[in-house]
Amino acid sequence: MFHRRVVERLNEVKGGALRRAVFAFGALCVLLSSGVGALAQTHGNGATPHRGGGEASLVLPDLTQASFLGLDGRTILLIGLLVCFLGMMFGLAIYMQLKNLPVHRAMREISELIYETCKTYLVTQGKFLLILEGFIAVIIVLYFGFLLGFEASRVLIILLFSLIGIAGSYGVAWFGIRVNTFANSRTAFASLEGKPFPVYSIPLKAGMSIGMLLISVELLIMLFILLFVPGEYAGPCFIGFAIGESLGAAALRIAGGIFTKIADIGSDLMKIVFGIKEDDARNPGVIADCTGDNAGDSIGPTADGFETYGVTGVALITFILLGVPNPTVQVQLLVWIFMMRIMMVVASALSYFINEAIARARYGNVAEMNFEQPLTNLVWLTSIISIALTYVVSYLIIPDLGGDTTLWWKLAAIISCGTLAGAIIPELVKVFTSTESRHVKEVVTSSQEGGASLNILSGFVAGNFSAYWLGIGIVALMTVAYYFSSMGLSALMVAAPVFAFGLVAFGFLGMGPVTIAVDSYGPVTDNAQSVYELSLIEQVPNVEEEIKRDFGRTVHFERAKHLLEANDGAGNTFKATAKPVLIGTAVVGATTMTFSIIMALTAGLTTNTQNLSLLHAPFVLGLITGGAMIYWFTGASTQAVTTGAYRAVEFIKRNIRLEGVEKASVADSKRVVEICTRYAQRGMFNIFLAIFFGTLAFAFVEPYFFIGYLISIAVFGLYQAIFMANAGGAWDNAKKIVEVELKQKGTELHAATVVGDTVGDPFKDTSSVAMNPVIKFTTLFGLLAVELAVKLTSDYGASASHFLAAAFLAVSLVFVWRSFYAMRIGLEKLETQAASPATGD
């Protein structure tokens, strides 16, 4: 019933906008298909059809033509399937362990309620994703089916694998919330004994379950394409899969980020308005906040990690097939990069077991522990083991690459730059976001005298400084990779530095399961604190005797609350550390993907390379335009949060009951969830369509304009995202210091840090984190768009392309306009009753 009401209300809200979007898109498709029809007639009159299609036309070499350790390439990769299977079993085994951990019924009921609201949200998102896939499908069919004359089977393969990509992102996101909603109540219950180790161990175990299954499923799908799909069809499979998972990740990241921050702000502001405690059960916004912790901090990052891992791999495969002329070397490099991924799954599992044994021995029976320390140890241990195994496996797999017996260690060094970044970047992030950070303590100190004003300014300082240091760190590691790429790699391929940069992005994800695990740690710790409060466990009659009788545990309520709050600070820190890693892969990986477009436009870097210059005006204009798009996106995503939070606050203030009740009504809680879902969908709808049509428009303006645009959104997006993510992290943990260390809840200082935290909420969990999938979706979809534009320009002239560019830009600008003017706080009045129809578009 609840799910049906949410969907009905969403349909009321978005129906008008969706009909207009479909109508506009349909009209433009008529224009485009008329040109396609004319091209088909031209081909029928004897002209040779264009058989381009870029990545979709790439043919994989025969994997059996190279030998590795006495086995051919196909056989050795088949062994990798076994590792993927074991990785999946690892994830599922931990899932079952978490499910079977002891938990009190009061806490289990709350976690199941959170899961049910998460399910409703995900079902609604799934239906919306299929609508967005329809826009992509039209372009795929028009371009590959009609314009390039691909046979129907190949077009269907691209469409099928785009759906598989969406299903992969969607499926691992669903698994993530199920695991986390088991872990949240079990963590809350484990805290009752008053010992810190279980409070640390359970969230990390949940994160490793998600990380291992996510990476194993991703790797399994890509190995399946590589091993079992005929070589001439593998290109379409990879490009379709990459586009699909990018679409899924972008939509789930954007909508999840908007949802979670609407709920978080709506819930947090009640602490100031009514002077109530955090996660007060009487606040109807708390359930929505818990759902948002999963929608934004679990669903979004999980889908994002799945997409990042896959797209980076597709980019490297594409480069190898385009930039390496020797088929034997192609096979050697393809097998090598997949063996690197298989090895890194093993390294992550091994590191987890070693670190867990050390942590249990050190912290198993202590009364106090630094929750961040074992997480930090895990990251560094995984990095060290991964780097060591990178050299060992590289030596075994490619001791002689293209006749050069030294390239194995040079390639290992390049990829190790990225693996090292996976450990160094979190350390740099902690300098600006940890509860131990001087920058975060500066935020608290400035708040003590300057209130919310200086709190916000100090957070800006932390964010800006972090962008400098992380940027310099990434550049330094890429410079080292560039140095090694100049040591003989150019003899095997064109643009060796580009390949090196792609390997750095690949190495960023070398610790994939662990990176996902420490990121997923945060939503569990956040939810655990909420589950404890919402369960009203302290008010259950004879609960201490019941727990002693049924579970054999002695209860320590105050101690439990302290541990959960302290662990939430560690969760905040490590949520922050994973964000720049994923953002960094978007930028470095986009370099490799953009190279594919450059190769096609310049006939393998033999013609028109002068257009990749500041002397070519369209290229410069593209650089400037990309920056504009990033700042619009920042504003649009924040506006959706602002408007939705206003509506949520308005509803909560009107309906909260603080006298005579222990809990908010389920109906009021669900109503807040509806408000969050509605504005998340509306914001995502406007943003996605503006990006979709904008990508088409800029690709049709001029190809080198579009290359400048792609480079620009990557660079602007990198620094904007790092600044916003770390400023938000600093504000968040400044509040945590006031609550946990200073114990000044309810004071003016606390109110000032709450204001800073609400400013940082859309910074760190909406705008910044969504830039990663948005950049990669734009680049991947841009591969199709620019090829389509080049073909139409070749056959009809620049005027036809410019006409379509203007038409697509007009539609994009409609949704850019709507992202503010149709989302303004004063535009519509909130319904006075839940049953009344929504107003506006």
Q: Which residues contact 425 (CB under 8 A, 6 or more apart)?
A: 470, 473, 474, 577, 580, 581, 584
d(CA 80, CA 223): 8
Q: How many CB atoms lie within 10 A of CB 476?
A: 13
Residue 59: exposed, middle, or buried by beta-carbon count in 10 A (0-12, 13-18, 19+)? exposed
d(CA 197, CA 22): 54
Apex 721 CA angle, 131 and 684, nearest 5: 20
3-state secondary structure (DSSP) of residue 503: helix
Give per-residue pLDDT as tens, 410-435: 999 999 999 998 889 999 999 999 98
Give per-residue pLDDT as tens, 436-489: 899 999 999 999 999 999 999 999 999 999 999 999 999 999 999 999 999 999
d(CA 160, CA 627): 34
Q: Mean pLDDT across the chain, nearest whole number?
A: 86
For residue 827, report the phi and psi dihedrals to the nearest 5 degrees: -75, -40
Q: For 500-504, what is the mean pLDDT?
A: 90
Give per-residue pLDDT as tens, 86-129: 999 999 999 999 999 999 999 999 999 999 889 888 988 898 88
3-class DSSP string for 765-833: HHHHHHHHHHHHHHHHHHHHHHHHHHHHHHHHCHHHHHHHHHHHHHHHHHHHHHHHHCCCCCCCCCCCC
Q: Between these two residues, 150 and 815, which has the higher pLDDT value?
A: 815
| Structure letter (DSSP) for residue 101 | S
Is the pLDDT reported for residue 48 higher than 60? no
Is the pLDDT reported for residue 338 higher than 90? yes
Q: According to the model, what pLDDT value does residue 253 have?
A: 87
- Contact of 756 with 731, CB cutoff 8 Å: yes
**Please, what sign has the CA dihedral across residues 12, 14, 19, 20?**
positive
Is the pLDDT reported for residue 834 higher than 60? no
- Burial of 539-564, coded b for 16+ CB within 10 Å and e otherwise, reads eeeebbeebeeeeebebbeebbbbbb
Q: Which helix (H) or strand (E) holds 327?
A: helix 327-363
| Structure letter (DSSP) for residue 147 | I
Q: According to the model, what pLDDT value does residue 27 have?
A: 45
Q: According to the model, what pLDDT value does residue 791 have?
A: 81
Q: According to the model, what pLDDT value does residue 50 have?
A: 36
Is the pLDDT reported for residue 707 higher than 80? yes
- Contact of 526 with 571, CB cutoff 8 Å: yes
Residue 267: exposed, middle, or buried by beta-carbon count in 10 A (0-12, 13-18, 19+)? buried
DSSP H helical ranges for 702-767: 703-740, 748-762
Q: Between these two residues, 245 and 839, which has the higher pLDDT value?
A: 245
Amino acid letter at 357?
A
| Structure letter (DSSP) for residue 276 | P
| Structure letter (DSSP) for residue 67 | E
d(CA 167, CA 613): 40
* CA 276 to chain centroid: 33
Give per-residue pLDDT as tens, 60-86: 899 998 889 889 999 999 999 999 999
d(CA 120, CA 781): 29
Closest listed residue to residue 828, CA positions, set 637, 635, 650: 650
Which long-range contacts link 549-554 to residues 24+ away (Cβ below 8 Å)? 551/102, 551/104, 553/192, 553/193, 554/193
What are the tokens at 213? Answer: 């299954």
**Please, what sign has the CA dihedral across residues 415, 419, 422, 427?**
negative
- Burial of 220-255, coded b for 16+ CB within 10 Å and e otherwise, reads bbbbebbbebeeebbbbbbbbbbbbbbbbbbbbbbb
| Strands 67-68, 71-72: pairing kind | antiparallel
Which of 326-330, 751-755, 781-785 shows the lowest per-residue confidence on average (mean pLDDT)?
Answer: 781-785
d(CA 187, CA 206): 10
Q: Between these two residues, 278 and 1, which has the higher pLDDT value?
A: 278
CA distances from 449 to 458, 698, 735, 743 (A): 12, 49, 15, 17
What are the tokens at 749? Answer: 């200082």
d(CA 103, CA 198): 13
What are the tokens at 413? Answer: 């060094």
Confidence of residue 296 (pLDDT cuts 50, 70, 90): confident
Q: According to the model, what pLDDT value does residue 587 have?
A: 76
CA distances from 437 to 424, 433, 466, 729 (A): 16, 6, 12, 11
Is the pLDDT reported for residue 209 higher than 90? yes
d(CA 227, CA 236): 15
d(CA 510, CA 477): 15
Is the pLDDT reported for residue 576 higher than 60? yes
* CA 440 to chain centroid: 25
d(CA 432, CA 741): 18
Confidence of residue 57 (pLDDT cuts 50, 70, 90): low
- Contact of 525 with 571, CB cutoff 8 Å: yes
Q: According to the model, what pLDDT value does residue 835 have?
A: 38
Residue 826: exposed, middle, or buried by beta-carbon count in 10 A (0-12, 13-18, 19+)? exposed
d(CA 314, CA 505): 12
- Contact of 244 with 130, CB cutoff 8 Å: no
Amino acid letter at 321?
L
Residue 405: exposed, middle, or buried by beta-carbon count in 10 A (0-12, 13-18, 19+)? exposed
Q: Between these two residues, 732 and 832, which has the higher pLDDT value?
A: 732
d(CA 183, CA 210): 12
Which of 297-301, 353-357, 520-524, 738-742 shows the lowest per-residue confidence on average (mean pLDDT)?
Answer: 297-301
3-state secondary structure (DSSP) of residue 71: strand
Give per-residue pLDDT as tens, 222-265: 999 999 988 888 888 888 898 899 888 888 889 999 998 898 88
